[in-house]
């Protein structure tokens, strides 16, 4: 397993910023989500600095669907980063934990009327309109609330990025956004710009997630700016802001080769500026909204090994006390992960295991064919790179309670999510 900066091997054991994983397991139990706060803060600041430019205002928004808890919301607020939200639930969590709603961008196809109303009444800064029917709904509700609502339009620029089909969002048949190739697109934009209760500021696009080619982002930017210029020239509508979405790929295993986002961003901003100047677009603001690349590497999950099984077919299973309930990604996207036995950090890898969860589902395997030291019941297995889309996609399948989460910051660690109880699982049931 590739170690993160905050991890190192001491006295034959893997440690997290000097904390022994065995002690963390004793204190909080397993399975346990562990979040390294210092590395998250550092990454957020790095992105913010890398976006700084004299050309226009820039803002980094955090795509909170990747991981959102009260503690994460408080960090968003403290770091002054904007929040990309996709539901009233995410807005609620943000504003109840100090996030400035003016810095929120509200996304989603089929936002419900009550969600739109909730957002407008609570001063959510920007609503990213997803389709032409939503234009009318937001306009109407803004009128009822008595506000002029700032909006962007989500465009689908038709740029194909190579990623898993389920997380590819910008192909022609995508459920998200209005296609730049749609014959009615001009009418939609004209309506947006003239709707009495809307303040149309520009465009948004998000071409997909876990993308490794910088070229895809440059291409999408060029397409969007070219499209914006056509809108200005043809329709006389000014484009002030473009939000380029998220999607920067991260490392899970050796086959992933992500680019360095902090090195990429200044070049990307230069590219956007140069194209905007060439096309005579007076851009006032540029935003990005990464989720995974900001949180993933800060998160890991600690499991205890239970039974071991050698099958008649010759396969060696090691069962963990967690499951697809705490990490659905391998079952849903064939996602790959690396892991390490924290109490056998210096033992040679000598056996091939399939790490399977305890849920009643054959596909509940967290890692297939990983080389590890000979395992024994009670060993602790750490899976890295689980910060994004693990806790946020967790479920109670099989009535398995969701794990606890802790944050580690330098010499301290503290609980941010309590382990779910059986009573809590029944709480809303009558
Ligand atoms: N902006 C929009 C409009 C999005 O739809 C998404 C992700 C993001 C930003 C953040 O993308 P990121 O930087 O995290 O790649 N559950 C899947 C990923 C779904 C992504 C959905 N949209 C997974 O576990 O891989």
* 163: pLDDT strictly greater than 70: no
Q: What is the mean pLDDT of residues 184-190?
A: 97
pLDDT reported for residue 410: 85
The response to whether 361 counts as a known ligand-binding position is yes
Å from CA of 108 to ligand 1 middle: 11
**Are 56 and 284 a contacting pair, CB within 8 Å?**
yes
Q: What is the mean pLDDT of residues 46-72?
A: 98
Mutate which of 62, 108, 169, 209 for ligand 1 pocket (most atoms within 8 A of beta carbon): 209
pLDDT reported for residue 164: 54
pLDDT reported for residue 169: 56
What is the rounded average pLDDT for all residues in the chain?
96
How many other C-beta atoms are found inside a 10 Å radius of the C-beta of residue 47?
21
The response to whether 290 counts as a known ligand-binding position is yes
Å from CA of 291 to ligand 1 middle: 6
pLDDT confidence tier of residue 132, bands split at 50, 70 and 90: very high
pLDDT digits (tens, 9 = 90+) for 378-420: 999 999 999 999 999 999 999 999 999 999 998 999 999 999 9
Q: State the fold for domain 107-289.
A: TIM Barrel (3.20.20)
* 310: pLDDT strictly greater than 80: yes
- Residues ≥6 apart with Cβ < 8 Å to 429: none
pLDDT reported for residue 159: 75
Both tokens assigned to 76: 């968003």
Q: Which DSSP state fits 96? A: T
Å from CA of 58 to ligand 1 middle: 20
pLDDT reported for residue 167: 54
Atom of ligand 1 minimally distant from the CA of 289: 9
pLDDT confidence tier of residue 162, bands split at 50, 70 and 90: low
Atom of ligand 1 minimally distant from the CA of 211: 15
Class of domain 7-36+297-426: mainly beta
pLDDT reported for residue 173: 82
Check: pTM over 0.90? Answer yes or no: yes
Q: How far apart are CA 82 and CA 58, in angstroms?
A: 11
Better-predicted residue by pLDDT, 59 or 171? 59
pLDDT reported for residue 7: 98
pLDDT digits (tens, 9 = 90+) for 62-73: 999 999 999 999
pLDDT reported for residue 158: 81
Residue ID of nearest Cα to ligand 1 atom 8: 246
Within 6 Å (CB) of ligand 1, which residues are found?
Answer: 63, 66, 84, 107, 167, 169, 206, 209-210, 245-248, 289-293, 329, 333, 388-389
pLDDT confidence tier of residue 297, bands split at 50, 70 and 90: very high
Atom of ligand 1 minimally distant from the CA of 335: 25
pLDDT digits (tens, 9 = 90+) for 81-109: 999 999 999 999 999 999 999 999 999 99
**Are 326 and 33 a contacting pair, CB within 8 Å?**
yes
pLDDT reported for residue 427: 97
Among all residues, which ones are annotated catalytic? 360
* 171: pLDDT strictly greater than 80: no
Q: How far apart are CA 235 and CA 107, in angstroms?
A: 25
CB burial readout 365-400, b (16+ within 10 A) else e: bbbeebebbebeeebbbbbbbbbbbbbbbbeeeeeb
Residue whose token pair is 């750490």: 382
Q: What percent of the chain has pLDDT above 70?
A: 97
* 170: pLDDT strictly greater than 90: no
**Max Cα–Cα distance, the chain, nearest Å:** 71
The DSSP annotation for 156-173 comes to E------S-GGG---STT
Q: At what angle do helices 132-145 and 113-121 cross, to 10 degrees?
A: 50
Domain residue ranges of the chain, discontinuous segments joined by + = 7-36+297-426, 107-289
Q: Quote the ipTM score.
A: 0.99
Do 7-36+297-426 and 107-289 have matching folds?
no
The response to whether 329 counts as a known ligand-binding position is yes
Give the C-alpha distances (Å, rounded to integers) separating 243 from 234, 298, 339, 367. 22, 25, 35, 36
**Are 100 and 83 a contacting pair, CB within 8 Å?**
no
- Residue 413 β-bridge partners: 408
Residue ID of nearest Cα to ligand 1 atom 22: 209
Q: What is the mean pLDDT of residues 307-315?
A: 97
Residue ID of nearest Cα to ligand 1 atom 7: 209
- Residue 155 β-bridge partners: 178
The response to whether 146 counts as a known ligand-binding position is no
Question: Which is nearest to 327 in space by CA: 355, 293, 290?
Answer: 355
Atom of ligand 1 minimally distant from the CA of 107: 3
* 430: pLDDT strictly greater than 90: yes
The response to whether 218 counts as a known ligand-binding position is no
* 165: pLDDT strictly greater than 80: no
Question: Which is nearest to 372 in space by CA: 318, 311, 302, 303?
Answer: 318
* 263: pLDDT strictly greater than 70: yes
Q: What is the mean pLDDT of residues 124-146?
A: 98
Q: What is the mean pLDDT of residues 35-57?
A: 98
Q: How far apart are CA 420 and CA 174, in angstroms?
A: 36
How many other C-beta atoms are found inside a 10 Å radius of the C-beta of residue 132?
17
């Amino acid at each position: 397993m590739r170690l993160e900066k905050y991890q190192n091997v001491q006295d034959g054991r893997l440690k997290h910023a000097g904390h022994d994983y065995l002690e963390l397991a004793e204190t909080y139990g397993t399975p346990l989500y562990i979040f390294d706060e210092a590395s998250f803060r550092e990454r957020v600041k790095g992105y913010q600095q890398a976006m700084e430019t004299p050309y226009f205002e820039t803002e980094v928004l955090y795509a909170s669907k990747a991981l959102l808890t009260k503690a994460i919301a408080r960090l968003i607020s403290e770091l002054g980063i904007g929040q990309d939200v996709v539901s009233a639930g995410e807005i609620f969590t943000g504003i109840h934990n100090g996030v400035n709603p003016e810095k929120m961008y509200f996304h989603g196809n089929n936002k419900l009327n009550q969600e739109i109303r909730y957002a407008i009444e609570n001063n959510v800064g920007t609503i990213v309109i997803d389709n032409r029917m939503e234009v009318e709904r937001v306009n109407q509700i803004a009128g009822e609330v008595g506000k002029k609502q700032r909006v962007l339009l989500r465009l689908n620029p038709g740029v194909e990025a190579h990623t898993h089909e389920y997380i590819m969002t910008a192909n022609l048949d995508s459920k998200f956004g209005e296609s730049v190739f749609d014959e009615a697109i001009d009418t939609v934009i004209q309506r947006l710009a003239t709707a009495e209760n809307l303040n149309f500021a520009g465009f948004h696009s998000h071409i997909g997630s876990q993308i490794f080619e910088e070229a895809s982002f440059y291409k999408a930017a060029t397409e969007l700016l070219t499209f914006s210029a056509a809108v200005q020239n043809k329709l006389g509508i000014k484009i002030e802001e473009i939000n380029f979405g998220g999607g920067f790929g991260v490392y899970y295993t050796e086959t992933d080769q992500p680019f360095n986002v902090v090195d990429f961003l200044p070049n990307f901003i230069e590219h956007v500026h140069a194209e905007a100047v060439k096309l005579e677009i007076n851009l006032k603001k540029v935003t990005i909204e990464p989720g995974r690349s900001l949180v993933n590497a800060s998160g890991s999950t600690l499991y205890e090994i239970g039974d071991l099984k050698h099958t008649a077919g010759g396969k060696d299973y090691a069962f963990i006390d967690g499951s697809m309930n705490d990490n659905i990604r391998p079952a849903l996207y064939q996602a790959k992960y690396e892991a390490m036995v924290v109490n056998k950090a210096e033992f040679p890898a000598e056996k091939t295991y399939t790490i399977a969860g305890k849920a009643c589902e054959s596909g509940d395997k967290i890692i297939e064919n990983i080389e590890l030291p000979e395992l024994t019941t009670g060993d602790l297995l750490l899976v890295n790179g689980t910060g994004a889309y693990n806790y946020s996609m967790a479920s109670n399948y099989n009535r398995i309670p969701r794990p606890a989460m802790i944050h580690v910051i330098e010499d301290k660690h503290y609980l941010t999510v309590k382990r779910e109880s059986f009573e809590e699982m029944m709480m809303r049931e009558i």
